[in-house]
Amino acid sequence: MLNYQNILLTIDFSGHDLFVAQKAQALAEQFHATLHILHVLDNIPMPDTPYGTVIPLSEDSAYELLENEKNKLVQISDQLNIAPSRRWLIWGEPQQEITQLAIQQQIDLIIVGSHDRHGLAVLMGSTAKDVLYHAECDVLAVHIKKPG
């Protein structure tokens, strides 16, 4: 692949998203590629599904959380000029949803953030690493520097 046509920016709203997003936008411009954006909801229990209901939430507070995530996605997508049809908010397990959407949308480059891990985080593993291992296309890990 000499030229990327469809780039997928993945964001987890960790506070470093803008830095990673700006790199994604610059690359998309450079390659004249279409930029998609994805956030996977893995912290909001959804009713009638077999997946993750670890933290019990009332429907109201789950709805509030969902609206909050939606607003954050809209805000960053607006900043990056990403069309609504290329904004993805999907419920599930991040690595699986990222790699599946990449196949569905014929993504040729996935962009993830990557930062140093310490303590328990090392044991829990990294979405970035899992995506790199499972993706069928190229993956760019943008190194997120610690402040200071």
The window from 8-16, 28-36, 68-76, 80-88 that contacts ligand AMP (CB under 6 A) reads: 8-16
The answer to the question of residue 76 lying near ligand AMP (CB under 6 A) is no
From the list 12, 5, 1, 7, the residue with the least C-alpha distance to 23 is: 7
CB neighbour list of residue 130: distance below 8 Å, 6 or more residues apart: 94, 95
Residue 39 touching ligand AMP (CB under 6 A): yes
Residue 11 in the binding site for ligand AMP (CB under 6 A): yes
**Could you say which of 4, 76, 99, 113 contacts ligand AMP (CB under 6 A)?**
113
40 binds ligand AMP (CB under 6 A): yes
CA distance 70 to 90: 10
Of the residues 42, 62, 132, 140, which one makes contact with ligand AMP according to CB under 6 A: 42
User: What backbone torsions phi and psi does residue 82 show, to the nearest 5 degrees?
Assistant: -95, 125
Residue with structure tokens 């609206």? 67
